Structure 1
Amino acid sequence: MDLRFRKRGEWDAGGLDIVIEVRSKWTASRVDSRQARADGLHEAIADVVDHDVGVFLQFPVAAWSEG
């Protein structure tokens, strides 16, 4: 897991204190349950932080090469 922190940019909208973007490999089962996954993450995070939180799940079809 990678955690990346950045300041709010000029194109960021909304009044949330924290926005968490989750990027994951695409699979049919993940796509079928994406809203439940986002809701579960949001609930778990909102229980431990005293801020307005949003969770965005992204399942791109992508390729990666390293080395």
Structure 2
Amino acid sequence: MSMKVIVDLTTCQGYACCMMEAPTVFDLDESAGKAVVIDETPAEDVRSAVEAAARTCPARAITIENG
């Protein structure tokens, strides 16, 4: 099963919790103060880290779509 990772930039507050949980998938655009997805369709072996990032996001700005 594949997944697609989406960050809602209107909701994101730039806490960077996602970056700490899944650094190969998320980064921080320091000029905008928002998270960016550097790998929108990551491999299944990082699913648990991506799910943890979504759970720990204080702004609830991360969505994982299963394809």
The TM-score range, normalised by the shorter chain, is under 0.3
When you count strand as a share of all residues, which structure comes out higher?
A: 2
Q: What TM-score does the superposition give when structure 2 sets the normalisation length?
A: 0.26
